Chain A
Amino acid sequence: MRTLDIAALVRRCKHKDRQAFDELLSRYEQSLYKICRWYSQDKDEALDIMQEVYIKIFRHIQTFDESRPILPWLKQLTVNTCLNFRRDHKQPLTLALDAQPLEVVDRFAHSSDDVEEQVMQRSSVADLDKILATLPDHHRMALSLRYLEDMTYEQIAQMMDLPLGTVKSHLHRGRAHLRQELTRQGWMEV
């Protein structure tokens, strides 16, 4: 869709045009959902966050300047909603017993026909998700933006409105904690 078409779409959204909202949200929602899902290890929580994202887009689109690209604004809104979600809903940092861990695609270069190896991989993925869930929100969000969105340190700093050194610290501490926990649980034997 051309930039001019998106600007026209946003203008219609500002007039509470339902069809325009439907078109705009359906275009970008999967991309925004991936940020929520990577950040939250619980699918239900990720959908709850997306519900808030939809509401915020509906309410705040009036303030958006349609001459600018909309995707960075949507991502910024999503990141802020993720970071504020647990604070606003006062939820403990736990993972549901039936939570589905995200898949790790083919961890090793060779074929994973070995059932035992597949079970070990699934277990390590489940542990990675559990440990990610225990990280502080800002560490987890910095990792989400780094690995899901492939952002540089500077881009993450701008998105999270943090100094560059703080972003590096969040990434390093987050990974250090993950590595130590996975080592302690025996998943890092090298």
Chain B
Amino acid sequence: MCTMDESVLQQYIDQDLSEAERWILEGHVQECPDCRRTLNQLKILDWDLQHRAVEAAPELSDLRQRVLNEQLQATSTPLQRTSNYYRAQSALWEKSLGFVQYIPPVSFLHKASKGLLHNASKSIESSLQQRRQDMAQRHFLHRFKASRP
């Protein structure tokens, strides 16, 4: 009967031996049927434990809701409940109105609108000026043609 401590074989399974210790143990296992059998059993057990699958639990969702209901009810005063309600509401509004942060500030809009108006008025003035010039030219040509025999 071999007197090798099983914990050494366990350390071998866990890759917790130095290279020299592993080499010595492997040499011993080749010669010792008891240790060889124990080592094989430990390998099978290690495999079983590694592949012990755990299924997900769909009940957790309901359990979570129940616990949160109980805990929030137990820890809040009426004032806190009202406060929590409005805080939760404002958090929701904050999410849905997130686009507001991308709207330029009012001063920028004011400047931009002034600039737009200024440019628009300049453009309108320029086109009016052009029309006056065109009309003046047509009027001049009309008078010139009229004065010729």
Looking across the interface, which residue of chain B has its beta carbon closest to that of A15?
A: B87
**Contacts A18-B68, A179-B45 hold; do A172 and B7 have CB atoms under 8 A apart?**
yes
Q: In the complex, which of the residues B44, B50, B59, B72 contacts A188, with contact meaning CB atoms closer than 8 Å?
A: B44
Question: How far is B10's CA from A168's CA once the two chains are assembled, in angstroms?
Answer: 9
The reply to whether B68 and A58 form a contact with Cβ atoms under 8 Å apart is: yes
Main secondary structure of the interface of A (DSSP, over half): helix
Cβ contacts under 8 Å, B91 to chain A: 12, 17, 19
- Chain A nearest CB from B105 CB (Å) reads 25
Nearest chain A residue, comparing its CB with the CB of B71: A58
Chain A contacts of B41 at CB under 8 A? 179, 182-183, 188, 190
Q: How far is the CB of B32 from chain A (nearest CB, A)?
A: 15
Q: A176 to B6, Cβ gap below 8 A?
A: yes
Given contacts A103-B55, A147-B52, A175-B45, contact A33 B60 (CB under 8 A): yes
Other-chain contact of A179, B7, B42, B53 (Cβ < 8 Å) = B42
Listed by A's residue number, 22 A-B pairs whose Cβ atoms lie within 8 Å are A21-B68, A26-B64, A29-B64, A30-B57, A38-B54, A47-B59, A50-B60, A58-B68, A102-B53, A107-B47, A107-B48, A107-B51, A128-B48, A143-B49, A147-B49, A153-B14, A168-B7, A172-B7, A175-B49, A176-B10, A182-B45, A190-B41
Structural contact, A175 and B42, CB atoms closer than 8 A:
yes
Chain A contacts of B13 at CB under 8 A? 175
- Closest-CB distance, B111 to chain A (whole angstroms): 34
B61 at the interface (CB under 8 A from A): yes
> Chain B contact residues (Cβ within 8 angstroms of A): what range?
35 or more
Q: Which 9 A-B pairs have the closest CB atoms?
A: A54-B67, A172-B10, A34-B54, A190-B40, A147-B49, A105-B51, A172-B7, A58-B71, A188-B41
Q: Report B-chain residues with C-beta under 8 Å of the C-beta of A124.
A: 48
- Is A1 in the interface zone, CB < 8 Å from B? no
Cross-chain contact of B64 among A22, A46, A172, A175 (Cβ < 8 A): A22
- A106 at interface (Cβ–Cβ under 8 A)? yes
For B10, list chain A residues within 8 Å (CB): 171-172, 175-176
In this assembly, does A14 line the interface, its C-beta being within 8 Å of a C-beta of chain B? Answer: no
